[in-house]
């Protein structure tokens, strides 16, 4: 077996800012973990909420994989153990009650796990990190939620550009639209947007999203467009009521309906790639070299992430859109 791994923070000059983690336990399992960036900016013993979450999930997952009694690799048991570990972290930092009441203060992380069983592999996906098997079989949780918020950013970039704004103006207004939503004008949207332009932009995004996601209730799209990441997105976290709902490991209930579990016999798997969402396009072949080549091509062709790879966030002069991590396992 040959294992490759790579991780880099979205701010390459500050490796300590990375909110991704990886786990390599040969003969037991492998994982990439993506800590969710906090909406509030609070720190805990110098760490961001995303870093606390990612490290907690990493340690709890390692404990699960190394436990002789966990040979069944039960995903529900894994999630329960992780939830308990995150609640312990809340308790240590004195915010357990606050986290229960205010979802915005919760730690959160996604997980893509490849666990080795007796003659089989079990792949567990929680959130939007992904796995690719044998260079072709792709598994990923993508509800389309990010594409709804990204539509606001795309529209804002174009409106500001057409009005003569600079790239920095586009970044500022686009970020304000994504984070605060289109229900009301935020100071960072001025002078490029006024109330009338904002509502015109919202209407255009709503029309486009209704066409793209015909199975999503209009009220869900409106809630996300109006509230943005700060006050709209949390309504869909670990909530199975909407097609836009997504799973996060946050110390509370993670519905199994939002978790993907894939089993494969050992002999049918020649390569495994686990990756976080800092990679916006697939690698041509299973190798770190290919994954990084794909990353560089994305950065060359759409660094702002508003054209070929629309996203709620893009790269800037100071850093990339997101942290990125990949593990490639070659079975020889």
Predicted confidence band at 231 (pLDDT cuts at 50, 70, 90)? confident
pLDDT value at residue 318: 86
pLDDT value at residue 218: 97
pLDDT score of 39 more than 80 = no
pLDDT value at residue 331: 83
In this structure, the answer to whether residues 85 and 112 fall within a common structural domain is yes
In this structure, the answer to whether residues 183 and 136 fall within a common structural domain is no
Average of per-residue pLDDT across 167-185: 94
In this structure, the answer to whether residues 19 and 133 fall within a common structural domain is yes
In a domain, 103, yes or no: yes
pLDDT tens sequence across 108-167: 999 999 999 999 999 999 999 999 999 999 999 988 999 999 999 999 999 999 999 999
Domain residues for the domain of 279 are 2-141+247-303+314-330
pLDDT score of 38 more than 80 = no
In a domain, 257, yes or no: yes
pLDDT value at residue 41: 73
In a domain, 242, yes or no: no
In a domain, 241, yes or no: no
Q: Give me the sheet containing 271-275, strands edge to edge.
A: 2-8, 324-330, 271-275, 130-133, 137-140
Rounded to 10°, the helix 195-212/218-227 angle is 140
Counting residues of the chain whose pLDDT is more than 90, the rounded percentage is 87
The H or E element spanning position 2 is strand 2-8
pLDDT score of 253 more than 90 = yes
Q: What is the mean pLDDT of the chain?
A: 94
pLDDT value at residue 44: 86
- What is the reported pTM? 0.93
In this structure, the answer to whether residues 124 and 44 fall within a common structural domain is yes
pLDDT value at residue 204: 96
Beta-strand ranges (E) seen in 208-276 are 260-265, 271-275
Least trusted range by pLDDT, from 38-42, 142-146, 211-215, 226-230: 38-42
In a domain, 308, yes or no: no
In this structure, the answer to whether residues 149 and 191 fall within a common structural domain is yes
The CATH number of residue 117's host domain is 3.60.40.10
pLDDT value at residue 114: 98
| CA atoms of 80 and 140, how far apart (whole Å) | 22
User: How far, CA to CA in Å, does 233 sit from each of 192, 226, 280, 312?
Assistant: 25, 10, 21, 12
The H or E element spanning position 225 is helix 218-227
In a domain, 309, yes or no: no
Average of per-residue pLDDT across 201-214: 96
Total structural domains in the chain?
2
pLDDT score of 102 more than 90 = no
In this structure, the answer to whether residues 95 and 153 fall within a common structural domain is no
pLDDT score of 40 more than 80 = no
Question: What tokens were used for 323?
Answer: 């942290």
Residue that finishes a domain, picked among 187, 211, 236: 236
């Amino acid at each position: 077996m040959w294992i490759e791994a790579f991780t880099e923070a979205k701010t390459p000059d500050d490796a300590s800012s990375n909110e991704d983690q990886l786990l390599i336990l040969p003969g037991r399992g492998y994982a990439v973990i993506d800590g969710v960036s906090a909406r509030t900016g609070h720190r805990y013993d110098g760490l961001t909420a995303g870093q606390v979450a990612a490290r907690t999930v990493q340690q709890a997952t390692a404990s699960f994989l190394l436990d002789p009694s966990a040979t069944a690799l039960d995903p529900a048991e894994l999630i329960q153990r992780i939830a308990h570990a995150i609640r312990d972290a809340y308790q240590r930092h004195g915010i357990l009650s606050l986290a229960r009441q205010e979802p915005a203060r919760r730690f959160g992380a996604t997980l893509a796990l490849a666990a080795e069983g007796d003659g089989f592999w079990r792949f567990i996906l929680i959130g939007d990190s992904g796995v690719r098997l044998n260079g072709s079989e792709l598994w990923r949780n993508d509800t389309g939620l990010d594409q709804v918020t990204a539509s606001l950013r795309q529209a804002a970039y174009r409106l500001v550009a057409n009005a003569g704004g600079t790239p920095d103006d586009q970044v500022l207004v686009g970020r304000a639209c994504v984070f605060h939503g289109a229900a009301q004008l935020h100071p960072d949207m001025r002078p490029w947007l006024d109330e009338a332009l904002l509502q015109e932009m919202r209407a255009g995004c709503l029309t486009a999203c209704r066409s793209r996601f015909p199975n999503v209730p209009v009220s869900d799209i409106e809630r996300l467009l109006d509230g943005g990441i700060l006050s709209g997105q949390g309504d869909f976290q670990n909530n199975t009521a909407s097609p836009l709902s997504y799973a996060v490991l946050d110390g509370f209930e993670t519905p199994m309906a939002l978790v993907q579990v894939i089993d494969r016999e050992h002999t049918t798997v020649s390569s495994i790639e686990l990756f976080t969402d800092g990679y916006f396009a697939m690698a041509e072949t299973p190798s770190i070299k290919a994954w990084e080549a794909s990353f560089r091509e994305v950065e060359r062709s759409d660094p702002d992430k508003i054209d070929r790879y629309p996203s709620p966030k893009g790269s800037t002069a100071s850093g990339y859109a997101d942290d990125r991590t990949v593990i490639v396992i070659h079975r020889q």
